[in-house]
Amino acid sequence: MKEKWFVSAKKADFQAIGQRFGIDQVTARIIINRGITGEEAIAAYLSCSRQQLHDPHLLKDAEKGAAILARKIREGKKIRIIGDYDIDGVNASYILTAGLRACGAPADPVIPDRVHDGYGINERIIAKAAEDGVDTILTCDNGISAYSEIEFAKRLGLTVIVTDHHEVPFTVSDTGEKAYRIPPADAVINPKQEDCGYPYPGLCGAAVAWKFIQVLYEQMGIETERSFDMIAHVAFATVGDVMELTGENRTLVRLGLDAIRKTDNPGLLALIRQNKLEQEKIKSWHFGFVLGPCINASGRLDTARRSLQLLLEPSLEQASVLAKELVELNDRRKGLTLQGIEQARSIIEEQGIYKDSVMVVYLPQCHESLAGIIAGRIREIYHKPVFVLTDAEDGGIKGSGRSIEAYSMYEEMSRCAPLMTKFGGHPMAAGLSMKRENAQRFRQELNACASLTEEDFIEKIHIDVPMPLSYISARLIRELECLEPFGKGNEKPVFAVRDLHPVRANIVGRNKNVLKLSVEDGAGGLMDAVYFGDIDAFLEFLREKSSESAVKALMRGAPQDIRFSVTYDPSIDAYMGRERVQIIIRHYC
């Protein structure tokens, strides 16, 4: 994959900013690179306090929906929550269930089965609710695209309240104008609505549900402070659903990380312990890459009800049993995912799909729940928009897509909406269903409409600070923690050093999958470096830069003249009570 390295060159008096806020000028430069300018904005970025959270009443229909729900609760009506099977939907379902039960509501959650039901509310679920005597349906992380389904619910006499965060469906006229289609629910709470006055539309489904519960608590005379018992779940979902960690989302995640480090929720505690993590050291990375995949695994290979049961479980002993099952499911998912990635890469190369602007890969035997993960990994390899399609139980095709910044996936899919029976999503990710005979035409139309250029397919590596090794210190590394939580929109800072000279290297680790080096930069810096990527590819790169004999000398610790440049993370290696500063190599050239 091609890369281009760029040094962020935003101008400011970094030394003055550092003195004003008591931070290193390197930290100040990174903050400015994130687009945070002005004393007030910098202070807010560094503090992430509750006072920065927006008023939930600004959400369109939040007060209306809460008033309806409060009346139903007082009347003892049966309320059913319809969630989703991913990390956002599960946590949103937990928040609504726990919140409504705190209000004394006879509420029960239902999560659609990924294979049998597909995404979101459907007529079968609605008919079952009516049969069970349910009066009110409350959705979370779905519903905005369920126009006909909600129309069906209204014909059955059900009250429907939608809480969602997905893009509002629209059609595009011949003149290019968008006509939005809001479902006919009694209240629709979604900050993506054009006429919603909420100042931050980038919330995840769980965050929208949590904001709604805050308004409901007020209606029911409950202190809104109690809603913060669920803030860890908001953070969990925000990171897991890959929301932008900017503005309010960053504040929510920061507050949620503080909360999970002190949580006594048996389900969260059991999951943390089962993954052998230290509770007080949980970071956003653990949400996205350790804990989150366990929650998602049940919805992929079993039923997401198991993950919801874990979060709602009052007994730590029983929660531990459930957490162990989820970790085992996730281990199985990892193996299946690797198989799918290898199969997809083989097809892409053999069929020349890599030449397409938008890659559509058909894996008929792939478990449909893994299509999105595989699409994401393939996108990382080729840096192109990717759809992975697989056979569905109904004889049709289901698929998931993952995109690049230059391609708004949901909007581009809307151009060929007639080819799909159902679709929805975001600019960066989407899901769909279609008849099998439309798959090839889907690939053709997506590519015919795409206006991507070769430049769009080159990954851009934005370097925050070209920094010599001698400037790295344990104090600076610890200070950089004030920039967390890291994630989409607030990426981990990227440092770089040119003309690095490796003094010696050896392959270590139980599986011989870590390259450890000692490196110097010619400016007085000498320290350890580690590389966790493809070691064979890295060594081949060094051979091409120098020679086979030079690489052999490097591995023996003998003199050689190898030079290369890297981007890196500075880190502290703590071993046997001793701390050593080192760098972790991310990219090289």
For the chain, the residue count is 589
Q: Residue 124's CB: how many other CB atoms inside 10 A?
A: 12
Q: Residue 314's CB: how many other CB atoms inside 10 A?
A: 9
Q: Which residues pair with 162 in a beta bridge?
A: 139, 188
Q: What residues contact residue 218 under an 8 Å CB cut-off, 6+ apart?
A: 66, 224
The token pair at 17 is: 């900013």
Question: Among residues 446, 420, 452, which one has the least CA distance to residue 359?
Answer: 446
Q: Answer yes or no: are the C-beta atoms of 114 and 85 closer than 8 Å.
A: yes
Provide the residue-wise pLDDT of the chain in tens; the chain has 589 residues: 578 999 998 999 999 999 999 999 999 999 999 999 999 999 999 999 999 999 999 999 999 999 999 999 999 999 999 999 999 999 999 999 999 999 999 899 999 987 777 778 999 999 999 999 999 999 999 999 999 999 999 999 999 999 999 989 888 777 778 889 999 999 999 999 999 999 999 999 999 999 999 999 999 999 999 999 999 999 999 999 989 999 999 999 999 999 999 999 999 999 999 999 999 999 999 999 999 999 998 888 778 899 999 999 999 999 999 999 999 999 999 999 999 999 999 999 999 999 999 999 999 999 888 999 999 999 999 999 999 999 988 889 999 999 998 999 999 999 999 999 988 877 888 999 999 999 999 999 999 999 999 999 998 999 999 999 999 999 999 999 999 999 989 999 999 999 999 999 999 988 889 999 999 998 878 999 999 999 999 999 999 999 999 999 999 999 999 999 999 999 999 877 788 999 999 999 9
Task: Write down the pLDDT at residue 104.
Answer: 96
Peptide bond into 559 cis (omega under 30): no
Burial of 36 (0-12, 13-18, 19+ CB in 10 A): middle
Q: Residue 184's CB: how many other CB atoms inside 10 A?
A: 13
Q: If DSSP codes are grouped into helix, strand and coil, which group holds residue 401?
A: strand
Taking the C-alpha atoms of residue 427 and residue 177, their distance in angstroms, rounded to an integer, is 18
| Helix-, strand-, coil-residue percentages of the chain, each rounded to 5 | 45, 20, 35
Q: Answer yes or no: are the C-beta atoms of 290 and 277 closer than 8 Å.
A: yes
Q: Answer yes or no: are the C-beta atoms of 193 and 62 closer than 8 Å.
A: no
Placement of tokens 């064979």 in the chain: 536
Report in angstroms the alpha-carbon separations of 470 from 96, 467, 581.
51, 8, 11
Burial of 4 (0-12, 13-18, 19+ CB in 10 A): exposed
Taking the C-alpha atoms of residue 379 and residue 499, their distance in angstroms, rounded to an integer, is 30
Question: Among residues 379, 389, 390, which one has the least CA distance to residue 356?
Answer: 379
Q: If DSSP codes are grouped into helix, strand and coil, which group holds residue 411?
A: helix
Question: Among residues 267, 273, 278, 378, which one has the least CA distance to residue 312?
Answer: 267
Sign of torsion over alpha carbons 30, 35, 37, 43: negative
Taking the C-alpha atoms of residue 427 and residue 236, their distance in angstroms, rounded to an integer, is 21
Residue type, 340: G
Please report how the helices 25-33 and 14-21 are oriented relative to each other, as an axis angle in degrees rounded to 10: 110
Task: Write down the pLDDT at residue 575.
Answer: 76
Burial of 22 (0-12, 13-18, 19+ CB in 10 A): exposed
The token pair at 515 is: 């390259």
Taking the C-alpha atoms of residue 45 and residue 30, their distance in angstroms, rounded to an integer, is 12
Placement of tokens 């069906």 in the chain: 152
Task: Write down the pLDDT at residue 1.
Answer: 54
